Amino acid sequence: ETGVTQSPTHLIKTRGQQVTLRCSSQSGHNTVSWYQQALGQGPQFIFQYYREEENGRGNFPPRFSGLQFPNYSSELNVNALELDDSALYLCASSLDVAGELFFGEGSRLTVL
């Protein structure tokens, strides 16, 4: 059984640029949640996707957007990058909207 995989593992962008992060959910899981983890902090909920629809959003601006595809993989897009967007972005899949979260290893984004 393949776990949650994320790509890329590391990337560096400059302020104002756009970034796309990708996540493949665990087999059989139809729900994906994205979290932002700043250095030395706990993860913060960005949004959740269930069967290709956004199903809940945290306190993040509209320049954070996402997609979920028919195979339940997902993308996180961030436009107009700011220095404070530097963080580890974690994707978690689950069997359903309330199920146990299985996290990937994250994508480390650095904004210069």
Partner 1 sequence: GENVEQHPSTLSVQEGDSAVIKCTYSDSASNYFPWYKQELGKGPQLIIDIRSNVGEKKDQRIAVTLNKTAKHFSLHITETQPEDSAVYFCAAGPGQGAQKLVFGQGTRLTINP
Nearer to partner 1 (CB atom), residue 4 or residue 109? 4
**Residues 31-60 within binding reach of partner 1 (CB under 8 A):** 33, 40-45, 48, 55-56, 58-59
- Rounded CA-CA distance 15/63 in Å is 13
Report the residue number, 3 or 16, with the smaller CB distance to partner 1.
3
Q: In terms of CB distance, is 43 or 66 closer to partner 1?
A: 43
Residues that bind partner 1 (rule: CB under 8 A) add up to a total of: 25
DSSP string over 94-112: ESSTTSPPEE---EEEEE-
Relative to beta strand 5-7, strand 19-24 is antiparallel
* Residues 87, 36: Cα–Cα separation, whole Å: 6
Applying CB under 8 A, the residues found at the interface with partner 1 are 4, 33, 40-45, 48, 55-56, 58-59, 90, 92, 94, 97-101, 103-106
